[in-house]
Amino acid sequence: MTDKFFVIGKAKARIVIVVSLVVIFCSNIVYASGGYDYGTPTGLNQLQLDFTWNPFDVIEYGQSYLVWGYGITDYLDFHGFVSHSADNCNQIYGGFMLCFFKSETLDLSTAVGYRFIDKYVDFDIPQLLYNYKFWDGYSIGGSIVSINRDGKKNIGTAYDIAFFIPVGNYLELPSWVRSLHFGVGLFRPVTNAVYPTYSVDVKLVSLDQLFSK
């Protein structure tokens, strides 16, 4: 499989990648949300659901959330999440993710969307989502997102990264599950604390196949 750049040309895509990396490591204009999403698109007419559960809010800094991604095309997703944290903070986010670089080892995407949290509305742009693929379904992925509170004020910097383990390498999956991963990672919010995270990521077969069974 050859590297593919979508929407923009190869030279421009390289510029986007370099600029994005400079923004990530050298500035304070980006903010990431833990357990949010990563750069691999879901695929046309396919649905991916990522779960994390903090039972009975037993972990005081923990949260329960559901992340979804639905493939409008092979490279464009409608994605988002809903979450509840132990401090009784509820969030919902919805937006669109576009994969602009895809290869056998690396997927890069950008996204735009709105997040509703307490009494605030955040506009999340720009965003960089990434997934570096190793072998047999193992990968490292995460997201970096600029949060503009009420469309005016940028509220800080945070980072999200996770290691994804392909459960299907060890267990037989149901016919309606295309892939299943267990993710473990770290999340650094704007407070600069670092928290461990986990998620169970389920990618279903295409909806046509799912409902034809």
Regions of the chain short of the pLDDT cut 50: 1, 8, 13, 15-35
> What's residue 123's pLDDT?
82
What residue spans of 7-119 are helical by DSSP H? 10-26
Domain with 61 in it: 4-212
CA–CA gap between residue 136 and residue 5 (Å, rounded): 24
Structural domains in the chain (count): 1
> What's residue 163's pLDDT?
95
CA–CA gap between residue 146 and residue 102 (Å, rounded): 22
> What's residue 98's pLDDT?
95
Helix, strand, or coil here: 109?
strand
> What's residue 31's pLDDT?
31
CA–CA gap between residue 112 and residue 130 (Å, rounded): 15
> What's residue 210's pLDDT?
57
Tens digit of each residue's pLDDT (9 = 90 or more) over 54-105:
887 777 777 888 999 999 999 999 999 999 888 888 999 999 999 999 999 9
Q: Using alpha carbons only, how large is the chain's radius of gyration in Å?
A: 17
CATH number at residue 207: 2.40.160
> What's residue 70's pLDDT?
94
